[in-house]
Amino acid sequence: MGRLTLGYFLRRFSIFLVTIWLAATLIWIIPRLAPGDPITAMVGRMIRQAGYVENSDIIIEGWRERFGLNDSLPVQYVRYLGNLVRMDFGYSLAYFPTTVGEIVGRALPWTVGLLLVAVTITFFLGNFLGALLAWRGTPKLVKYLIPVGMIFTSIPSILAAIFLLYIFAFFLDWFPLTGAYKAGMTPSLSIEFITSVIHHGTLPALSVVLVSFGYWALGMRGMMITVEGEDYMHLARAKGLNPLYVLYRYMIRNAILPQVTAFAITLGTLVSGQVLVEYIFAYQGMGNVIFSALRNQDFPVIQGTSFILILMTALAVLIIDLIYPLIDPRISYERS
């Protein structure tokens, strides 16, 4: 166990950069493997719709020039990478002249805010319940009740969302049906606005928590049972330590390690949003952006969101690489 060395950080960071570069290159290459080009296809669609488009050749040629498709592939590639570095993904096709950056910039905070809270709650709740399921000191009644609570795990999140909407928004009218905040409100940092955001976010967050906490609970239970069989558990009991201390410091502390890795990866994929949940609640997050981009064949938006997703996943892996040696002393910062 050593402290975080500059060498280790640089090694991990270069792996991070290489990952991003490879992924970005793939996103660039794959569409270009397909025959034809998007401009011809677009003008072709216009011709089919309108019957005849005057000077279509000139239009095609002009747009090809405008989008830089006449340059050689290496030039296009370098320009593409340059744009990525500046986070410039071009214009949305469906909402021209809005840029992809603007669309993503508007949606991303909502999704990250909603899902970060939901996924974090899920992680802690799931692991806590999983630990209780495996722990010997847990009251029998709790052990029987937890699996009952986990029936939602076997339900798709859309059904859970509809179920929650029906009970709490439609029938009981405790929560609003749609939106991220009260219509007509201007986003600000006022208490009123924040309350509205929490009020609107509760059901979407709850549907994510309900559907996925069982996954963490089962994983944690398995890990706890493995740890329970370890020799150091015997010794911990023989030492006459406080059972709660043993649970926390000996069992959970060791059982949680693989869960933390899985959590980091979950956080990375979080920016793609819960497409269906966001759609059902008409929540203005990334899930909705991706959903409508796919429907409108809005390629720049798809490309931009894919890249953000890759970036976040790689970032999450980088962060976990950097903090993992702190939570598991067996992983060393030193080069082995």
Partner 1 sequence: MTTSWNQPPVLKVRGLKVYYETPKGDVLAVDGVNFDLFKGETLGLVGESGCGKSTAAMGILQLVTPPGRVVDGEVLLEGHNLLGMSEQALRAVRWIKLALIPQGAMNSLNPTMKVSAQIKDAIIAHEGKQANKGIKPRILELLTMVGLPGRVYDLYPHELSGGMKQRVCIAMAIALNPTVIIADESTSALDVVVQRVVAQTMLKVKDALGVSMIMIGHDMGLMAQMVDRIAVMYAGKIVEIAPVKEMFAEPKHPYSQLLIESVPSLKERKPLKITEGITHDPRNPPPGCIFQLRCPFVMDICRVQPPVMRETNEGQLVACHLYPESVDGSLINVADVARNP
Q: Give the footprint of partner 1 on this chain (CB under 8 A).
A: 1, 230-232, 234-243, 245, 249-250, 253-254, 257, 327-330
Residues forming a β-bridge with 91: 99
Considering beta carbons, is residue 96 or 245 the nearer one to partner 1? 245
- H-helix or E-strand containing 101? helix 100-134
199/176 Cα distance (integer angstroms): 7
Q: Least CB distance from residue 119 to partner 1, whole Å?
A: 24
147-183 as b/e, with b when 16 or more CB fall inside 10 Å?
Answer: eeebebbeeebbebbeebbeebbeeeeebbeebbbee
Considering beta carbons, is residue 53 or 241 the nearer one to partner 1? 241
Q: What is the DSSP letter of 175?
A: S
Q: Which amino acid is at 42?
A: M
Question: What is the CA 307 to chain-centroid distance, rounded?
Answer: 12
Q: Least CB distance from residue 201 to partner 1, whole Å?
A: 35
Residues forming a β-bridge with 99: 91
Considering beta carbons, is residue 110 or 135 the nearer one to partner 1? 135
- Relative orientation angle of helices 299-327 and 6-33, to the nearest 10 degrees: 160
Q: Least CB distance from residue 328 to partner 1, whole Å?
A: 7
Q: Least CB distance from residue 250 to partner 1, whole Å?
A: 5
Question: In 3D, which of 201, 224, 218, 204 has the Cα closest to residue 151?
Answer: 218
- N- to C-terminal Cα distance for the chain? 11
Considering beta carbons, is residue 80 or 250 the nearer one to partner 1? 250
Within 8 A by CB and 6+ apart from 204, the residues are 114, 118, 161, 274, 277, 278, 281, 283
Q: Least CB distance from residue 324 to partner 1, whole Å?
A: 12
Considering beta carbons, is residue 241 or 315 the nearer one to partner 1? 241
Q: Least CB distance from residue 155 to partner 1, whole Å?
A: 34
Considering beta carbons, is residue 78 or 323 the nearer one to partner 1? 323
Considering beta carbons, is residue 297 or 332 the nearer one to partner 1? 332
Q: Least CB distance from residue 4 to partner 1, whole Å?
A: 17
